Amino acid sequence: AQSVTQLGSHVSVSEGALVLLRCNYSSSVPPYLFWYVQYPNQGLQLLLKYTSAATLVKGINGFEAEFKKSETSFHLTKPSAHMSDAAEYFCAVKIQGAQKLVFGQGTRLTINP
C-alpha cells in the first residue's frame, strides 16, 4: 500500500531563513503529489500539486517543491521564512485510479523572530 512519510513532526526556523520540509512516498507507479497547509482552527488549503509536467512545482506564498523520482521525494521549500508561514503542513499522495488521498503525519512549522 502506498504511504507518505514526513521527516520531522516539528521544524523551527528563524524569520528570513530557508524552510525545508521533507516528504517521501512509497509507490510503484507515478503518483499525484500535493502539499497542504493548515492554519490554526482552519481546514486544509492546497499549497501546490505535482502535475508531471515539470519536476519543480511552484505554489502559493512563495513555496515550491521538487519531485525527485529516484529518491521518491517531494520536499517543500521556501527561500525566506515569514512569520505568517507558521502552520502545520501535510504532504499527500494519490495513486492514479485510486479514490483517496493518503496523508503524511504532518509537520508543524514554527518561525522564530
Partner 1 sequence: EAQVTQNPRYLITVTGKKLTVTCSQNMNHEYMSWYRQDPGLGLRQIYYSMNVEVTDKGDVPEGYKVSRKEKRNFPLILESPSPNQTSLYFCASSFGAGGVNQPQHFGDGTRLSIL
Footprint on this chain of partner 1 (rule: CB under 8 A): 4, 6, 9, 32, 34, 36, 41-46, 49-52, 90, 94, 96, 98-101, 103-106
Residue type present at position 92: A
Residue 93, burial from CB neighbour count under 10 angstroms (0-12, 13-18, 19+)? buried
DSSP 69: G
Q: Taking the complex as a whole, how short is the minimal distance between the CB of residue 18 and partner 1, in angstroms? A: 24
- Report the C-alpha gap between 72 and 102 in whole angstroms: 15
- Report the C-alpha gap between 29 and 27 in whole angstroms: 5
* C-beta of 9 vs 112, nearer to partner 1: 9
* C-beta of 78 vs 104, nearer to partner 1: 104
* C-beta of 17 vs 106, nearer to partner 1: 106
